[in-house]
Amino acid sequence: MVVKSGGGGGAEEGAAGAAVRRWVEAGGGRLVLDGGLATELEAHGADLNDPLWSAKCILSSPHLIRKVHLDYIEAGANIIITASYQATIQGFESKGFSKEQGENLLTKGVEIAHEAREMFLKQHPDQSTALRPILVAASIGSYGAYLADGSEYSGDYGEAGTLEFLKDFHRRRLQVLAEARPDLIAFETIPNKLEAQAYVELLEECNINIPSWFSFNSKDGVNVVSGDSLIECAKIANECAKVGAVGINCTPPRFIHSLILSIRKVTDKPILIYPNSGERYDAEKKEWVESTGVSDGDFVSYVGEWCKDGAALIGGCCRTTPNTIRAITRSLNQYYPAA
């Protein structure tokens, strides 16, 4: 199917875009994403001061990850994102695990999310995925997330940041996660054009047939965090038939409106947005600072606007909680009364 309407780039929508569109339709015209995973793990007492961040819990407390996934499904999420954001084979190896053990841990992150979905369906026999999509998205954080120095918020990879280096870095994790059969692959917090290009080439070369989404982040409402043009980044995603949705995550809510409009100029693929609470991450202190974040109520007051702008998948990123997701779900139900 060739999609060309509005400002879209006219690329092949492909199976990935069609799959996401079907899920969006099954969700009544929109899908709710989950909220911050690390935030919730910490709220339950996990110490994530570790290069693996939330992925540390795949090792130390899988039951906690399962609980947080379940809480988000209970709050209305149609999509839960696995704990693999900062999990890499290289990161597990530097903790003394073998390559094979590292790969098994990545797989385990997807299994935990599958278990949470099964538990929810068992606990709610009245619910079925035919009535309400409940999908598992395998998270792939950027190279900057692996570095654990906050460079996914600068996109500055220095000398190391070549296309081939980034492809080599991400290749095996992508293959292992795809083999674990998630419903989607979530490339999150993409800070620059080069990494988007690396992902596109890997999706093609590894022939990954699980629909993926590309999610960028911005700190000015115009460009992605590295200063690269969001429009150019979104074009790269648009041109890849294996990408089913394009959007923004971990970015303050106040920037989202203009970012959606920019993305809309170059793609007709479904748009997803899951902003953070508006606070800023201080990579040196390893903490969120400037508590000028918006409240759940304020966050949700934006939801109608984002829908009008054309976002079809909406959730929260860092510092958002099941309460935020509950409020987003309620607000979307008003906006899409049939859902």
Q: Report how far Cα 167 is from the mean position of its chain's Cα atoms.
A: 19
d(CA 115, CA 243): 26
Residue closer to ligand MET by CB (options 19, 113) is 113
139 interacts with ligand MET by CB under 6 A:
yes
Mask for 67-106, x = binds ligand MET (CB under 6 A): --------------x---x---------------------
317 interacts with Zn ion by CB under 5 A:
yes
d(CA 26, CA 269): 16
Q: Which stretch binds ligand MET (CB under 6 A): 32-40, 224-232, 283-291, 301-309?
A: 32-40
d(CA 188, CA 214): 6
256 interacts with Zn ion by CB under 5 A:
no
31 CB contacts (<8 Å, ≥6 apart)? 23, 24, 78, 79, 133, 135, 312, 313, 314
d(CA 84, CA 157): 21
* Residues in the annotated binding site: 250, 317-318
d(CA 269, CA 15): 11
> Shortest approach of Zn ion to residue 104 CB, angstroms?
26
3-state secondary structure of 85: coil
Q: How long, in residues, is the chain?
A: 339
Residue closer to ligand MET by CB (options 11, 145) is 145
188 interacts with ligand MET by CB under 6 A:
yes
Out of ligand MET, Zn ion, none, what residue 271 binds, judged by CB under 5 to 8 A for its kind, is none
Are 79 and 184 in contact by the 8 Å Cβ rule? The answer is: yes
Residue closer to Zn ion by CB (options 186, 260) is 186
Residue closer to Zn ion by CB (options 188, 309) is 188
Q: Which residues contact ligand MET (rule: CB under 6 A)?
A: 36-38, 54, 81, 85, 139, 188-189, 250, 317-318
Q: Which residues contact Zn ion (rule: CB under 5 A)?
A: 250, 317-318
